[in-house]
Amino acid sequence: MNITTENILLIGSALLFISIIAGKTSYRVGLPTLILFLAIGMLAGSEGIGKIYFNDPKTAQFIGIVSLNFILFSGGLETNWKTIKPVLWQGISLSTLGVMITAASLGIFVWAISDFTIYEGLLLGAIVSSTDAAAVFSILRSKNIALKTNIRPTLELESGSNDPMAYFLTVAFLGLVLNPEESIWSVFPMFLQQISLGALLGFLMGKVSRFVINKINIDFEGLYPVLAIALMFFTFSLTDFVGGNGFLAVYLCAVYLGNQDIIHKKTIIRMFDGLAWLMQIALFLTLGLLVYPSHIPPIFGIGLLISIFLIFIARPFSVFLSLMLFKMKLRRRWYISWVGLRGAVPIVFATYPLLAGIDKADLIFNIVFFVSVTSVLVQGTTLSLIAKWLHVALPQKAKRKTPVDIFLSDGAKSTLEEIRLEDDNPSIGKKIVDLHFPKNAIIAMIKRDDKYITPNGATVLEDGDALMILAENRDGMEQVYTTLNVYDREAE
């Protein structure tokens, strides 16, 4: 079956529905949903029962880039700065030095055991060098794995921030394969340019995005996520246009936004969470359609050797080396090594050699596909088990509770008070989002002229407003009084 304008919506919606239903029951048998999405795409492909012919690496690459934008932006929005701050340098070391060590060690291994040139081996190593954000985020969160100390934020920070380095190495080594007379040292100026511009523009666009979202007045709440999407794509394309790393810029922009007070923040985060899942499904389905299952058996031997070397040697070697300057227990280093999941990102990067037309492009793509599937199957299905073996998992009763859990628990203490704003209060005339309200309190309702208003971040406070404040405890309520520049009547 050929994909046409007339049937693409029918095919897409059917595959999407099947993927969601399959994903709903996948963890009952311990199988990651991402593998099911790939399998459904392969079954629907030209060699499967669906007989859908799809052989367009360029379209697959475009879908991959768009999907990665949403996945990285969503992950960045949900990254809490207070959580990652203690592990910031560990995460940066893993996402830069760790990626380079993985790429180099695996590349040399491939060069030693095959007829790949050194640059071709390094290209393959670069493509599979990063842990996949989609795989790590979805598996850790869907399995609700609670880990000791700062292991989880370290893993999420690494997986969310190492794609830029892997992308740079892929592009750099692909250039060396196409121009083997060039020296490997020639890639360093490009590296400095990509990372510095990506970091700079990511931070600047985060500030610009916060200003735009908070200052622009849109009558419809549903348009704020659309505005965020526009800012996300603008950040990526602008950074890429000037020669920076767009993926790094998008992630840093989202991390900045996620830790600021912005209008309709919850709506934006929820929308991006749903869109990230949609993009994951679309990405894995597309890559499943692109793969020819009959091409996998011939590379099974070399693919298995590369997978074993990557999982048991290259990944642990890179983790231990990049973390050697930090204090961390041995078993925690081993667990971080095990959570080196490869997923859709390496397969997306493997389309670059296909479009460049190098000699071993098809072989590289099939090997990368095999390695990614093996990684998710072997590592993704054993994360909980390995966590227990290494004693890095928290017991069920010690798992971190959500705000809802805390609120509903028997021991929860909440404080509800009414605060009236007088005409000399400096909070009058300001938007709620500009007040930097305490995170352990909310304005549940505003009484204004005998009417009750459900507020949001864009609501402007007026003279005479009676604010119904709900706080977790007395300390939270005192912070509210300070924020609103009024006196705590109980404190008097």
Q: Once rounded to an integer, what is the mean pLDDT over residues 237-242?
A: 96
All domains of the chain in start order, with CATH: 8-398 (1.20.1530.20), 403-483 (3.30.70.1450)
Task: Name the more confident of 124 and 3.
Answer: 124
End-to-end CA distance of the chain: 77
Signed CA dihedral, 201, 202, 204, 205: sign only: positive
From the list 214, 220, 255, 252, the residue with the least C-alpha distance to 236 is 252
Give the single-character DSSP code of 415: E
Task: Name the more confident of 39 and 298.
Answer: 298
Task: Name the more confident of 29 and 336.
Answer: 336
Give the single-character DSSP code of 372: H
From the list 274, 275, 229, 281, the residue with the least C-alpha distance to 250 is 229
Quick: pLDDT tens for 462-485.
Answer: 888 888 888 877 787 888 888 888
| Whether 103 contacts 129, CB under 8 Å | yes
CA quadruple 14, 16, 19, 23: dihedral, nearest 10: -140
pLDDT of residue 313: 96
Q: How confident is the model at residue 1 (pLDDT cuts 50, 70, 90)?
A: low
Quick: pLDDT tens for 138-192.
Answer: 666 665 666 777 888 888 888 888 888 999 999 999 999 999 888 888 888 988 9
Task: Name the more confident of 35 and 448.
Answer: 448
pLDDT exceeds 50 at position 425 = yes
State the CB neighbour count (10 A cutoff) for residue 453: 14
Q: For residues 374 and 384, give the distance between their C-alpha atoms in angstroms, rounded to a whole number.
A: 17
Q: For residues 166 and 482, give the distance between their C-alpha atoms in angstroms, rounded to a whole number.
A: 47
Could you tell me how many helices (H) and strands (E) the chain has, helices first? 23, 4
State the CB neighbour count (10 A cutoff) for residue 14: 13
From the list 150, 164, 249, the residue with the least C-alpha distance to 207 is 249
pLDDT of residue 26: 56
Q: For residues 279 and 205, give the distance between their C-alpha atoms in angstroms, rounded to a whole number.
A: 23
Q: For residues 304 and 276, give the distance between their C-alpha atoms in angstroms, rounded to a whole number.
A: 31
H, E, C per residue of the chain = CECCCCCHHHHHHHHHHHHHHHHHHHCCCCCCHHHHHHHHHHHHECCCCCCEECCCHHHHHHHHHHHHHHHHHHHHHCCCHHHHHHHHHHHHHHHHHHHHHHHHHHHHHHHHHCCCCHHHHHHHHHHCCCCCHHHHHHHHHHCCCCECCCHHHHHHHHHHHCHHHHHHHHHHHHHHHHCCCCCHHHHHHHHHHHHHHHHHHHHHHHHHHHHHHHHCCCCCCCHHHHHHHHHHHHHHHHHHHCCCCHHHHHHHHHHHHHCCCCCCHHHHHHHHHHHHHHHHHHHHHHHHHHCCHHHCHHHHHHHHHHHHHHHHHHHHHHHHHHCCCCCCCHHHHHHHHHCCCCCHHHHHHCHHHHHHCCCCHHHHHHHHHHHHHHHHHHHHCCHHHHHHHCCCECCHHHCCCCHHHHHHCCCCCCEEEEEECCCCCCCCCCEHHHHCCCCCEEEEEEEECCEEECCCCCCECCCCCEEEEEECCHHHHHHHHHHCCCCCCCCC
Quick: pLDDT tens for 326-341.
Answer: 988 899 999 999 988 8
pLDDT exceeds 80 at position 382 = yes
pLDDT of residue 406: 42
Q: For residues 309 and 317, give the distance between their C-alpha atoms in angstroms, rounded to a whole number.
A: 10
| Whether 239 contacts 198, CB under 8 Å | yes
Quick: pLDDT tens for 242-271.
Answer: 999 999 999 999 999 999 989 889 899 999
Structure tokens at 485: 């520049």
Task: Name the more confident of 443 and 310.
Answer: 310
From the list 469, 489, 480, 488, the residue with the least C-alpha distance to 427 is 480
Least-confidence region, from 158-167, 294-303, 392-401? 392-401
With residue 468 as reference, give the H or E element that holds it. Answer: strand 466-471
Structure tokens at 440: 């352990």
From the list 231, 235, 222, 236, the residue with the least C-alpha distance to 268 is 222
